Amino acid sequence: MSGLTAAALTTAHIDLGALQHNIGVLRERAAPADFMIVLKADAYGHGAVPVAQAAAACGVRNFGALDIPNALTVLAAGLPSDSAVLAWLHMPSQDFTEAVDAGIELTASTVAELDRIAGSRSSRVPVVQFKIDTGLNRNGATAETWPALMSRAAVLEAAGRIRVKGVWTHIAEASEDEDTLAMRRFDDAIAVAATHGVHFSVRHLAASSAAFRRADVRYDMVRIGGHCWGIPSFDGVTPADMGLIPVMTLVSRVTAVAERASGVRLAEIAAGFLDGIPRESRGRVSVAIRGRRVGLDREIGHSSTLVEVTGSDIAVGDEVYLFGTGEHSEQTVREWGDRTGTLGDEIVSRVGARVPRIYSGTN
Amino acid sequence: MARPEAQPGAASPGESGGREAFVDTRAIARNLLTLREAAGMPRVLAVVTGDAFGHGAVPVALAALEAGAEALVVARLAEAEPLRMAGITAPIVTWQHAADEDFVEAVRLDVTPAVNSVALARAAAAAGVRAVQLVPEIGGEQLGIPDDAWPSLCAELAEREHAGGPSVTGIMATVPERDDAAFARIDAAVARARETGLRPELVHVCEYEPARGLEHDAASAVRLGAALYGLSAYEAHVGRHAAAHPLHDVAALEPALTLTAPVLGLKHAPAGVGVSYGYTHVTERPTTLALVPLGYGDGIPRRSGNHTRAGIGGVNSPIIGRVAMDALVVDAGAAAEAGSATVSIGEPAQLIGSPDAGAWSAEDWAAALQTSSLDIVARLTTRVRRVIA
Please write the tens of the pLDDT for every residue from A261-282: 889 999 999 999 999 999 999 9
Q: Specify which residues B348 forms β-bridges with.
A: B262
Domain of A116, CATH number, reads 3.20.20.10
pLDDT for residue A4 is more than 80? no
Q: Are residues A282 and A205 in the same domain?
A: no
Distance CA A279, CA A350 (A): 12
Distance CA B163, CA B77 (A): 26
Q: What share of chain A is helix, strand, coil (3-state, %, to 5)?
A: 30, 25, 45
Q: Among residues B363, B384, B380, B350, which one has the least CA distance to residue B54?
A: B380
Distance CA B31, CA A141 (A): 47
pLDDT at B189: 94
Q: Are residues A204 and A66 in the same domain?
A: yes
According to DSSP, residue B360 is labeled -
Question: Which segments of chain A does DSSP mark as H helices, in order?
Answer: 16-30, 40-44, 48-57, 68-75, 97-102, 111-118, 146-158, 176-195, 208-213, 333-339, 344-349
CA distances A165 to A108, A168, A183, A198, B95, Å, are 11, 10, 19, 10, 55
Whether A9 is covered by a domain: the verdict is no
Distance CA B61, CA B72 (A): 7
Whether A7 is covered by a domain: the verdict is no
B269 contacts in A (CB within 8 Å)? Answer: 137
According to DSSP, residue A132 is labeled B
Q: Mean pLDDT of successive 10-residue segments in chain B (389 residues)?
A: 40 70 97 86 92 97 98 97 98 96 97 98 98 94 94 98 96 80 89 95 76 58 90 63 46 89 91 79 89 96 94 92 93 82 86 88 92 94 94
Q: Are residues A257 and A332 in the same domain?
A: yes
The three-state secondary structure class of B175 is: coil
Q: Are residues A97 and A222 in the same domain?
A: yes
Of A137, A172, A356, the CB nearest to B267: A137
Residue range B257-388 forms a domain whose CATH class is mainly beta
Enclosing H/E stretch for B386: strand B385-388
Residue ranges of B 268-307 with Cβ closer than 8 A to chain A: 269, 273-279, 289, 291, 293, 296-299, 301-303
Q: Are residues A127 and A90 in the same domain?
A: yes
Q: Are residues A224 and A323 in the same domain?
A: no
Q: Are residues A172 and A266 in the same domain?
A: no
Range of the domain at A294: 248-360
pLDDT at B383: 92
CA distances A171 to A61, A181, A185, B308, Å, are 23, 10, 11, 24
Distance CA B267, CA B285 (A): 14
Q: Which residues contact A316 (CB under 8 A, 6 or more apart)?
A: A254, A255, A256, A257, B99, B117, B119
pLDDT at B234: 76
Q: Which residues contact B212 (CB under 8 A, 6 or more apart)?
A: B175, B178, B183, B205, B219
Domain limit, last residue, from A195, A229, A263: A229
B225 contacts in A (CB within 8 Å)? Answer: 302
**With an 8 Å Cβ cutoff, are B302 and A173 in contact?**
no
Q: Which residues contact A208 (CB under 8 A, 6 or more apart)?
A: A224, A225, A226, A227, A228, A233
Q: Are residues A71 and A204 in the same domain?
A: yes
Q: Are residues A38 and A179 in the same domain?
A: yes
Please write the tens of the pLDDT for every residue from A302-357: 999 999 999 999 999 999 999 999 999 999 999 999 999 999 999 999 999 999 99
Total structural domains in chain A?
A: 2
List the domain boundaries for chain B: 25-242, 257-388
Q: Does B109 touch chain A (CB under 8 A)?
A: no
Percent share of chain A, pLDDT over 90:
88
Of B117, B262, B329, the CB nearest to A138: B329
Q: CA torsion angle for B303, A296, B239, B140 (degrees, to 10)?
A: -160
pLDDT at B176: 67
For B25-242, CATH number? 3.20.20.10
Whether A42 is covered by a domain: the verdict is yes
Same fold: B25-242 with B257-388: no
Select the more confidently predicted residue: A62 or B221.
A62
Distance CA B293, CA A180 (A): 27
Select the more confidently predicted residue: A23 or B238.
A23
